Homo-oligomer: A and B are copies of this chain.
Amino acid sequence: MERFVGELLARAGELARSQGLPCQVVLGGSAARGTWLAGDHDIDIFLCVPEHRELEEAMAIGRQLVLEHEERYAEHPYVHASLGGFDLDIVPCFSISDPSHLRSAVDRTPFHTRYVAGRIRGLEDQVLLLKAFMKGIGVYGSELRTGGFSGYLTELLVLKYGSFAAVLEASASWRPGLVIDLENHGSAIHTQPLVVVDPVDPRRNVAAALTLDRFAQFIGAARQFMAAPHERFFFPAPAEPLKDGELVRALQARKTMIIVVEFRPPDLVEDIIYPQLQKAQASIRSLLDREGFSVLRSGGNVSGQWGWLLFELLVWELPGVKKHPGPPVWEGQHLDSFLQEDRLILSGPYIEEGRAVVEVLRKYRRPDDLLRDRLGSLSLGHHLSPSIRSSFVLYQGWEILSIQSQDFRLFLSRYLSLRAWPAAQD
Chain A residues in the interface with B (C-beta under 8 A):
172, 174-176, 193, 212-217, 219-220, 223-224, 253-257, 292, 294, 296-297, 314-315, 318-321, 323, 328-330, 332, 335-336, 339, 346-356, 359, 361, 416-421
Contacts and interface: CB of A to CB of B under 8 A. Distances in A.
Contacts of A318: 314-315
A388 B220 CA distance: 45
Given A220-B351, A224-B339, A349-B421, 8 more contacts: A216-B328, A217-B329, A219-B330, A223-B336, A255-B321, A296-B321, A349-B420, A350-B419
A176 B294 contact: no
Contacts of A419: 347-350
A285 to B, nearest CB: 13
A421 B332 CA distance: 15
Q: Chain copies in the assembly?
A: 2
20 contacts: A212-B353, A214-B351, A215-B354, A216-B330, A216-B351, A217-B351, A219-B330, A220-B329, A223-B336, A253-B320, A253-B321, A253-B346, A256-B319, A256-B321, A294-B294, A297-B359, A315-B318, A348-B418, A348-B419, A349-B420
Contacts of A216: 328-330, 351, 354-355
A319 B314 contact: yes
A354 B212 contact: yes
A193 to B, nearest CB: 8
Contact of A350 (B348, B359, B418): B418
A271 to B, nearest CB: 22
Nearest to A352: B213
Contacts of A330: 174-176, 216, 219
Contact of A294 (B315, B321, B335, B417): B315
Nearest to A313: B319
Given A294-B292, A296-B321, A319-B314, A351 B254 contact: no
Nearest to A315: B315
Contacts of A176: 330, 354
Nearest to A224: B339
A297 B314 contact: no
A368 to B, nearest CB: 17
A420 B350 contact: yes
